[in-house]
Chain A
Amino acid sequence: MSGNPDFTLTIDQNKYLPEGGQEVHAVVTVEAGGAPAGGATRSTAAAEVIIIDTSGSMDYPPAKMSSAIKAAQTAVDALRDGVHFAVVSGSARARMVYPAGEQLVAADAGTRREAKAALDQVRAAGGTAIGTWLRLADRLFAPHQDGIRHAILLTDGKNQHESPEQLDATLAACTGRFVCDCRGVGTDWDVAELRKVASALLGSVDIVAHPNDLVTDFQAMTEAAMGKAVADVVLRVWIPQTARLRFVKQVMPAVEDLTAKRVDAGPRAGDYPIGAWGEESRDYHLCVEVSPGNVGQELRAAWVKLVLPGSGGEEQVLATGNVLAEWTDDEAQSTRINPRVAHYTGQAELAVAIQEGLAARKDGDFDTATTRLGRAVALAHESGNDAIASLLGKVVDVEDPATGTVRLKKNVDKADEMSLDTRSSKTVRTRKEG
């Protein structure tokens, strides 16, 4: 591969532990700089599959289907020349919209025109089986495993025409094969279900409550995908023999627990997939449990490497960093809490508090809902997460944001509740950072 963007990896932590201390926390910031001279975004091979829901419900209201078609057409226009692409329509089974055969074609003025014309012929009918859509996308991407592989999936309903087990099996098969950003249009889809799909396929999930907003959203997603310069990056984490990796979480731009995605990578090391990268920066929170050492000893509690596995087995280490532990009897050192670790611990708790609060509200457990959503209000206020605070304000009446004193609103717009649920894991950086 000719020239990757410049990657940097920075570790932020307080390495000092009290005597007997075992828990080491660190925030790992991974930053990819601009594409190298010559423009890797032009030379990197890329493949894009656009999947739109064409189940019968997309006609109620009809604006949904017509907006989805318009959005898909905008996405087609945003593809740069040479990107291999296809458009898929999804109902109880998946169909090729363009091209006719099961393959990707290179984007140019002609294929873009044909694809948009084919989209004009799409009609809504049938049920919803998201797994079958993903299986077709996987077959389409199969000959293109060397470059960026990105899908957009739009749905308006629950996955009714296949079992959750079938969907899980499909997700397991598709993991690592392509990245998929998921969007739910309207308010009849299931947030947890779509979050599971996006999470397994390292993509984002969001709500587009109003069909009219689909066009701008699809354009932004496609442009972001076109900006990716390198695919399939992994975070490799080595820990000492007697240590245990408690968790690896992405914490910026959104909370995403990666712990269960581990793939063994040699003695005491595991790989955590972090997907495709353009010019961007993301933060990860690591927690390692180590065997206690003597005061004065220093330990490498984790060795973090950013690795690009090559197709021919020749992998590249793009950047590395150390998470350290040092035992001290100086309490001033061991009790100092790293502000970024504290901040992201709060952001992760915020996401959980919202999801639990909304679930309790749905189950009619209003006491729990009030407590959890109140806690969420306090955390959002304290951390300066204004976007979440404003979404919370549509579900609860806030009496005192500092203490999290709230009352549940009687009438909540379904779209507001789903927006809060979907965006609960979106985080902000610490306020003090410039």
Chain B
Amino acid sequence: MGAPKTRERTCPACDVPVYPGEDFCEACGHRLGATVAACTACGATAISADGYCDHCGLRQPAGGDHVEIDARAAAGVSDRGLRHSRNEDAMALTDAGEGVAAVVCDGVSSSSRPEDASRTAADTGAAALAELLAAGTAPKAATRTALTRAAEAVAALAGDDGPHAAAAEPPSCTYVSALTHDGSVTVGWVGDSRAYWLSAGGGARLTDDDSWAGEMVAAGVLSEAEAQAHPNAHVITAWLGADADEPDPHVTTFTPDGPGVVLVCSDGLWNYLPEPAELASAVPDAVSEPLTAARSLTRLALDAGGRDNITVVVIPFSSPVHPTLEQAE
């Protein structure tokens, strides 16, 4: 064995040597990140380029572990939670026509690369909604088409895996979108991520889960509480992915009769707070402070155990006549 020598750092993107004090790689321009990141578990300052501590081996929190979007017209928070090693949820927010479009997706943990599935679906769906609304497509048709495009994009992710991928399920995720327009909101979904209407009067759930529990309740076999307590409660019956059936999007339009917010979320939130009235009373100022509301709901889920990834998007809806959204840039 040769004498130990000073470790030479190389650019994680192009492998050219880089030196202390450089923020970007001289060769390819890749941002080199903090030079003295410390391990969140043992405090060692040697973290490998692939994100594991050189001392204790712990994988360091990734960029997606806690994400916030503050678009004034709407806000969203996505958090890894306390019991999962990474955040497999994704959200996207965009202006669409005169309103706002939000998409939330929850990667299916048992599939391969669920985080890629949810990211792809959310981005594809939101971009499609903006594009279709700009082209004058009607909200319901746009919602359906956007969901179909997201499904195709997720299905196309299959086959990018390595030689051992055959045994794994292809990347897959849930999908829910909400689109505000002309004093109404149109939602579309596949899976068990949800949309709610929250108002001073309580509110309403706008979606019906594609899940074992949802089917039991719909069939009148079990009560909502009985179904959710069953071990199969979270088995979803529809999803986006190469192994899914042709997507059969549920699309519905809701017209509120007063001010309130549209809440779009993954099961990491609604597992703890399933009832619209509970959610509404937890964030009474959501109409004026959407980001604060999204943070508060995320915090409630974390405090309750944070067993799953949590994603919360809040879209204020002040009145059918003067939507807040006109203030958006």
How far apart are the CA atoms of A296 and B81 in the complex, in Å?
A: 9
For this complex, 10 residue pairs linking A to B, each with C-beta atoms less than 8 Å apart, are A10-B162, A240-B58, A243-B57, A295-B83, A296-B82, A298-B85, A299-B56, A300-B48, A313-B2, A329-B83
Residues of A within 8 A of B83 (CB): 295-296, 329
Given A266-B4, A300-B52, is A241 in contact with B85 using a C-beta cutoff of 8 Å? no
Do B164 and A298 touch across chains, with their CB atoms under 8 A apart?
no
**Restricting to A286-319, which residues have a CB under 8 Å from any CB of B?**
290, 293, 295-301, 303, 313, 315
CB distance from A305 to the nearest CB of B (A): 12
Check: A12 CB closer than 8 A to any chain B CB.
yes
Is the C-beta of B84 less than 8 angstroms from some C-beta in chain A? yes
The 8 A CB mask of B53-78 against A (1 = contact, 0 = none) is 11111110000000000000000000
The interface centre, meaning the residue of B2, B48, B109, B162 with most chain A CB atoms within 10 A of its CB, is B2
- Taking CB atoms, residues of chain B closer than 8 Å to A300 are 48, 52-53, 57-59
B58 touches A299 (CB 8 A): yes
The minimal Cβ–Cβ distance linking A320 to chain B, given in whole angstroms, is 9
Besides A243-B57, A296-B82, A297-B41, 18 other CB < 8 A contacts? A10-B163, A10-B164, A239-B57, A240-B56, A241-B42, A263-B1, A265-B1, A266-B1, A268-B55, A290-B57, A296-B81, A299-B56, A300-B52, A300-B53, A300-B58, A301-B57, A303-B48, A329-B83
Interchain CB contact under 8 A, B164 and A242: no
Give the Cβ gap from A404 to chain B, nearest Cβ, in Å: 30
Docked pose: A266 CA to B5 CA in angstroms: 10
A296 and B1 form a contact (CB under 8 A): no
Contacts A10-B163, A265-B1, A295-B83 known; A241 to B55 CB distance under 8 Å? yes
How many B residues, CB 8 Å from partner?
27
In the complex, which residues 258-299 of chain A have their Cβ closer than 8 Å to any Cβ of chain B? 263-268, 290, 293, 295-299
Interface residues of A in 24-81 (CB under 8 A from B): none
Interface of chain B: mostly helix, strand, loop or mixed? loop
**A326 interface contact, C-beta 8 A:** yes
CA distance A264 to B164 in the complex (A): 32
Q: Which residues of A contact B48 (CB under 8 A)?
A: 300, 303
Given contacts A241-B42, A265-B1, A326-B85, contact A299 B163 (CB under 8 A): no
Closest B residue by C-beta to A324: B59
- Which residue, of A10, A298, A330, has the highest number of chain B Cβ atoms within 10 A? A298
Interface digits, B205-247 against A, CB 8 Å rule (1 contact, 0 not)?
0000000000000000000000000000000000000000000
Contact B56 A242, beta carbon cutoff 8 Å: yes
Which residues from chain B contact A265 at a C-beta distance below 8 Å?
A: 1
Number of A interface residues at 8 Å Cβ cutoff, please give it. Answer: 30
Residues of A within 8 A of B163 (CB): 10
Contact A297 B85 (CB under 8 A): yes
Complexed CA–CA distance, A45 and B82 (Å): 57
Q: Give the chain A neighbours of B58 by CB distance below 8 A.
A: 240, 293, 297-300
Provide the residues of chain A in CB contact with B4, threshold 8 Å. Answer: 266
Q: Is the CB of A240 within 8 A of B85?
A: no
Most buried by A among B4, B50, B52: B52
CA gap between A326 and B88 in the complex, in Å: 15
Residue contact B84 to A240, C-beta cutoff 8 Å: no
Per-position binary interface string of chain B over residues 147-168, scored 1 when its CB falls under 8 Å from any chain A CB and 0 otherwise:
0000000000000001110000
Instruction: For A313, list chain B residues within 8 Å (CB).
Output: 2
A residues near B84, Cβ cutoff 8 Å: 296
Query: What is the minimal beta-carbon distance from A293 to any residue of chain B, in angstroms?
Result: 7
Please, what's the 1-or-0 string for A192-223, where 1 marks a CB less than 8 Å from any CB in chain B?
00000000000000000000000000000000
Tell me the nearest residue of chain B to A265, going by C-beta: B1
B50 — which chain A residues lie within 8 A by C-beta? 322
A239 to B279, CA, bound (A): 46
Contact residues of A between 220 and 276, Cβ < 8 Å to B: 239-243, 263-268
From known contacts A264-B1, A265-B1, A329-B83, infer whether A299 and B57 are also in contact, taking CB-CB under 8 Å: yes
- With a 10 A CB-CB cut-off, give which of B80, B81, B83 has the most chain A CB atoms: B83
Q: CA separation between A296 and B164, bound complex, in Å?
A: 24
Within 1-42 of B, Cβ neighbours of A (below 8 Å) are at 1-2, 4, 41-42
Chain A residues contacting B109 (CB-CB under 8 Å) are 330
Q: Which residues of B contact A299 (CB under 8 A)?
A: 52, 56-59
Residues on the B chain within 8 Å of A268, using CB:
55
A337 to B81 Cα, complex, angstroms: 27
Complex alpha-carbon distance, A376 and B53, angstroms: 43
Task: Name the A residues within 8 Å of B55 (CB-CB).
Answer: 240-241, 268
Q: Is the CB of B1 within 8 A of A297?
A: no
Contact (Cβ within 8 A) A241 B56: yes
Cα distance A326–B4 in the bound complex, in angstroms = 32
Residue of B nearest to A271 (CB): B1
Cα A303 to Cα B81 in complex, Å, equals 27
Interchain nearest-CB distance for A163 vs B (Å): 32
Bound Cα distance from A381 to B167, whole angstroms: 25
- Counting chain A CB atoms within 10 Å of each CB, the highest count among B41, B57, B86 belongs to B57
Bound Cα distance from A330 to B109, whole angstroms:
11
Report the Cα distance A366→B81, complex, angstroms. 59
- Across the interface, A296 reaches (CB within 8 A) one of B2, B41, B52, B85, namely B85
A332 nearest CB neighbor, chain B only: B110
Of B85, B110, B164, which contacts A12 at CB under 8 A? B164
- Chain B residue at smallest Cβ distance from A266: B4
**Cα separation A266 to B46 with both chains bound (whole Å):** 14
CA distance A330 to B108 in the complex (A): 14
In the assembled complex, the Cα of A298 lies from the Cα of B56 at a distance in Å of 11
Name the CB-closest residue of A to B82: A296
List, in ascending order, chain A residues with CB within 8 A of B57's CB. 239-241, 243, 290, 299-301
Docked CA distance A9–B288 (Å): 55
Which chain B residues numbered 288 to 322 have a C-beta less than 8 Å away from chain A? none
Q: Which residues of chain B are near A242, meaning CB under 8 Å? A: 56
Q: Which of B90-112 contact A (CB under 8 A)?
A: 109-110
Give 8 nearest A-B pairs by CB, closest first.
A240-B57, A300-B52, A298-B85, A298-B59, A313-B2, A300-B57, A296-B83, A299-B57
With A and B bound together, what is the CA distance between A139 and B55 in angstroms?
42
CB-nearest residue of chain A to B52: A300
